[in-house]
Amino acid sequence: MLGALDVEQPAGWNDELELVAAVDVNPDPDIVEVELEAAITDIEIVPGAPTPAWTYNGSLPGPLIRAKLGDKIIVRFKNSLPEATSIHWHGMRLPNHMDGVPGLTQKPIAPGGEFVYEFEARDAGTYWYHPHIDSAAQVGRGLYGSLVVEDPADSEAFGDELVLVLSDLSIDESGQFLAEDAGGEFGDLFGREGRVLLVNGKVLPRLKVRQGKQQRWRVINAARARYYSIQLREHTLTKIGGDNGLAARSMQTNRIVLVPGERADIVFTPSDAPGTVRTMQWIPTERGFGSLYNRPREDMLEIETVAESPVTPAAIPELLREIEPIDLANATERTLDLTIEMETTRHGREVVMGINGEPYWLSKPMEAQLGETQIWNITNATAFAHPFHLHGYFFQVQDDTRIPEWKDTIDVPSESSLRIAVRFDERPGVWMYHCHILDHADSGMMGHLFVAGEGEHAHMPHIELIH
Ligand code: C2O
Ligand code: CU
Ligand code: CU
């Protein structure tokens, strides 16, 4: 039998899934320079009833930006939306003033305004970009795109790469967006899951595979609230990494849950017999109060195993990367309690979410000194799960049952707690952390951290926080 490395993917294997690629306008092989314009574009999701999506360069998702380890990335951004926006580079270790958080790291980019983002591709991995103003609404309408930093040293056995951006859209049968506050306080509490599921901007696209011929899936959950579980009976999934590139070891599994903002790097080994068509479904995931109740599965992606003879899968290395545990000898401890309160305000009854009881707009910054290592004890006594995300730094989850990897987004299930260790080793400034269910973030479950530079006091200048 032929081996996986001796054959190509089936003809047209990714035709329905290929993302629009960002065009690199810079001839320097070590600089990736692209132009991005945010604008409203009609996209046909419901046949015959275009949706006025919010897009980057007119595509949904936005263009895939691809760089190799060590490249410089320059993004010339123009805002042609009717509202102010910004771009945050989720997971990238970049200088603070490039982080794209209006109010903290830059001014909002007004309609007609421009901004040049410039940073280095320091870490191989799968990243993504999205606005950081009115995020639930702007991301929910389609503003997100992927960014892949390749490591030329990666094993060939991982297979041909396929970037999968998972998202959903809150549109009705005529393709129009539902009101931003649809569902009222329940929408805030549960987070708004769109009615239409998209994989790379398409409804139920089809992927072609050949039995035994591996594909490397870089999966990104770009939905504003929805959890995804990647689960495929009969086929084999091997998780090789996530947020920040490769994990310490590969692991064969039959289920990978991705919370909003999180990424997974998976080697997919097709195991169905030639001629099989199987549908990968969205499967309800436990994320607290009522999230499993009465939820049907939904079709997401069709996988057609073509009628070519099977090949022998390549052997995936077990050891992938050296990941040194963060030295906790002088670590200081912090407590972050994710909180939800119902408050009666002059607008009526409102859901106010926060951290340690304070919504973002009333919060005091956490503080750290450059070089300091901290352990964050994150507790979640609420009835809902919260995907916790930190900007600017990767952390290590303190849990011996997990394969070591660097993370920037992690689920904190309802009624549970976890410990993350993070070293603020460089790049002083003001960094965000928040729940990545964007309805929760907008309801106040966000905070900011001031990392004081050398000789600076761990005390932040006063900033008026944007509500
Ligand atoms: Cu993708 Cu502040 O987040
Ligand atoms: Cu981020
Ligand atoms: Cu949350």
> pLDDT tens, 112-161?
999 999 999 999 999 999 999 999 999 999 999 999 999 999 999 999 99
Asked if the model's pLDDT at residue 342 lies above 80, the reply is yes
Nearest residue by C-alpha to atom 1 in ligand 1: 90
User: Tokens 């000194």 appear where?
Assistant: 369
Question: CA-CA distance, 239 to 405, in Å (whole number)?
Answer: 11
The reply to whether ligand 1 has any atom less than 6 angstroms from the CB of 226 is: no
How is residue 191 annotated by DSSP? Answer: -
CA torsion, points 402, 144, 286, 304, in degrees to nearest 10? Answer: -90
What per-residue confidence (pLDDT) applies to 344? 84
- Tens digit of pLDDT for each residue in 262-321? 999 999 999 999 999 999 999 999 898 877 778 899 999 999 999 999 999 999 999 999
The residue ranges of DSSP E strands in 312-460, in sequence order, are 332-345, 348-355, 366-369, 373-380, 386-390, 395-397, 409-412, 416-423, 429-435, 446-452
How is residue 384 annotated by DSSP? Answer: B
Q: Residue 93 C-alpha to ligand 3 middle, in angstroms?
A: 24
CB atoms under 10 Å from CB of 119, counted, come to 17
The reply to whether ligand 1 has any atom less than 6 angstroms from the CB of 261 is: yes
Asked if the model's pLDDT at residue 465 lies above 80, the reply is no
Task: Give the position, in ligand 1's atom list, of the atom nearest the Cα of 446.
Answer: 2
Question: CA-CA distance, 334 to 376, in Å (whole number)?
Answer: 5
Asked if the model's pLDDT at residue 462 lies above 70, the reply is no
What per-residue confidence (pLDDT) applies to 37? 98
The reply to whether ligand 1 has any atom less than 6 angstroms from the CB of 427 is: no
Nearest residue by C-alpha to atom 3 in ligand 1: 90
The reply to whether ligand 1 has any atom less than 6 angstroms from the CB of 90 is: yes
Q: Residue 12 C-alpha to ligand 2 middle, in angstroms?
A: 34
The pair of structure tokens assigned to 362 is: 């009333």
The average pLDDT across 39-55 equals: 97
Asked if the model's pLDDT at residue 455 lies above 80, the reply is no
Q: Measured between alpha carbons, how far is residue 205 from residues 45, 63, 199, 201, 218 in Å?
A: 12, 18, 7, 9, 17
Question: CA-CA distance, 84 to 110, in Å (whole number)?
Answer: 4
% of the chain surpassing 70 pLDDT: 98
- Asked if residue 445 lies in contact with residue 464, where contact means CB atoms within 8 angstroms, the answer is no
- Tens digit of pLDDT for each residue in 421-432? 999 999 999 999
Q: Residue 430 C-alpha to ligand 1 middle, in angstroms?
A: 14
Work out the pLDDT band at 349, boundaries 50, 70, 90.
Answer: confident
- The DSSP H or E segment spanning 246 is strand 245-253
- Tens digit of pLDDT for each residue in 214-256? 999 999 999 999 999 989 888 889 999 999 999 999 999 989 9
Mean pLDDT (the chain, rounded): 95
Question: CA-CA distance, 196 to 245, in Å (whole number)?
Answer: 30
The average pLDDT across 151-176 equals: 96
Please list, in sequence order, all residues whose beta carbon lies within 8 angstroms of the beta carbon of residue 147, skipping any fewer than 6 positions away. 64, 65, 66, 67, 73, 89, 92, 126, 127, 128, 129
Higher pLDDT, 295 or 442: 442
% of the chain surpassing 90 pLDDT: 89
Asked if the model's pLDDT at residue 461 lies above 70, the reply is no
Q: Residue 47 C-alpha to ligand 1 middle, in angstroms?
A: 32
What per-residue confidence (pLDDT) applies to 298? 95
Asked if the model's pLDDT at residue 46 lies above 70, the reply is yes
**How far apart, in Å, do the first and last CA atoms of the chain sit?**
62
The average pLDDT across 383-387 equals: 97
Please list, in sequence order, all residues whose beta carbon lies within 8 angstroms of the beta carbon of residue 402, skipping any fewer than 6 positions away. none
What per-residue confidence (pLDDT) applies to 460? 65
Question: CA-CA distance, 42 to 352, in Å (whole number)?
Answer: 34
Please report which ligand is nearest the Cα atom of 91: 2
Q: Residue 90 C-alpha to ligand 2 middle, in angstroms?
A: 4
What per-residue confidence (pLDDT) applies to 362? 94
The reply to whether ligand 1 has any atom less than 6 angstroms from the CB of 263 is: no
The reply to whether ligand 1 has any atom less than 6 angstroms from the CB of 432 is: yes
The average pLDDT across 440-467 equals: 82
CB atoms under 10 Å from CB of 193, counted, come to 20
Please list, in sequence order, all residues whose beta carbon lies within 8 angstroms of the beta carbon of residue 307, skipping any fewer than 6 positions away. 274, 275
CB atoms under 10 Å from CB of 389, counted, come to 23
